[in-house]
Copies of this chain bind each other. A is one copy, B any other.
Amino acid sequence: MTNKNLRIGVIGAGRIGIVHSGSVNDTAGAELAVIVDAIEESAAKLAGKYGVAHTTNVEDIFTKGDVDAIIVGSPTPTHVDLISRAIDAGIHVLCEKPVDLDINRALSIKSKVSNSKTNVSIAFNRRYDPNFAAVHARVKAGEIGNLEQLVLTSRDPGEPPRAYIAVSGGIFRDQVIHDFDIARFFVGDIAEVSTFGGNLFSKDIEAENDFDTAITNLRSKDGKLVSVINSRHSSYGYDQRIEAFGSKGMLKIDNIADTTVRSYTSDHTEQRDPYMNFFLERYAASYRKELALFIESINTGKQLNPTYEDGCQALIIADAATESAKTGKVVTLK
């Protein structure tokens, strides 16, 4: 494809690091250079799968000169620092969401990122899911006239472990931030946020002072209305839907099951299986597309993925939703 492969280091050998490593391995023009994880066993296991180097010392990335780009899937508190150091080292970076749990810390490197000579991208992969992407393209092409309302439903298959909740930053910064990014993708910047959070099923989540259920109303700066509907569990599988309503029509996506089989018996008809249960399966295509755009961005100098600014804006909405849910007030954004 290109004369020389892009050498990519993956930082974080957890669930998302495994996904990104697989994508790199499958992608022409890229090669996995090194896996970094503070837990050596994790780093070694993932590196071994692809026959590449591993290290527990992230310094190696910036000092050894053997990577062109990094994908950051390490814990959130490390993100800002890694982005900053990658820029200094002339290394391209694709960083997982959220950029940080503290918006001030995130904004502290905003101008540095703006002036970066290397690519900085934020991994809001849902934009590249073929279904969400098709709705977006068709809305932009005018198929439904003026977009007036957006309804986003996002329900996780099951609640995460309490330890994860404890460091997640809460449902809005951890889960709903994807919907907030999708909202911005469709309607642009957000002016007002009103959220009702609920504790309807999980004692653990309540004990962490977090919500297991939420509904959020957003108004965009140009007046479009967005309803966001979330839950930390869903008995029937991963529930990920969008409905774009406009002056001339509506576009919606259905969920995805492993097969198209439908069953009919004396107690039901048209029955399908539960939906795909896990984000890695459900969004597999989107991770590959995200990586392809990252590589194309590096090769062409264009910014094709969501920007650091997109990462900050989604976090600002997540902060506002958190505040609204906790205070019971509508929050206005500047």
Contacts and interface: CB of A to CB of B under 8 A. Distances in A.
A196 interface: yes
B273 A255 contact: no
Interface stretch (A88-96, A116-124, A241-249): A241-249
Interface string A250-269: 11111111111111111111
Contacts of A266: 235-236, 248-249, 274
A239 B200 CA distance: 29
Which of A143, A223, A245 has the most C-beta atoms of chain B within 10 angstroms of its own C-beta? A245
A247 B196 contact: no
A307 interface: no
Contact of A247 (B201, B250, B262, B264): B201
Contacts of A78: none
A146 interface: yes
Interface in A208-247: 213-219, 223-227, 229, 231, 233-237, 239, 245, 247
Nearest to A135: B261
A150 to B, nearest CB: 10
Interface residues on A, range: 35 or more
B265 A255 contact: no
B198 A259 contact: no
Nearest to A332: B328
Contacts of A256: 260
A238 to B, nearest CB: 11
A200 B222 CA distance: 10
A225 B215 contact: yes
A148 B200 contact: yes
A84 interface: no
Contacts of A198: 148, 219, 223-225
A144 interface: yes
A297 interface: no
A39 interface: no
Nearest to A228: B227
A130 interface: yes
A80 to B, nearest CB: 33
| 4 closest residue pairs by CB, A with B | A249-B265, A236-B264, A271-B271, A254-B260
Given A200-B247, A269-B273, A269-B274, 17 more contacts: A131-B261, A134-B258, A135-B261, A144-B265, A148-B198, A192-B196, A194-B196, A196-B218, A198-B224, A233-B247, A235-B247, A235-B249, A235-B250, A250-B263, A269-B271, A269-B275, A330-B330
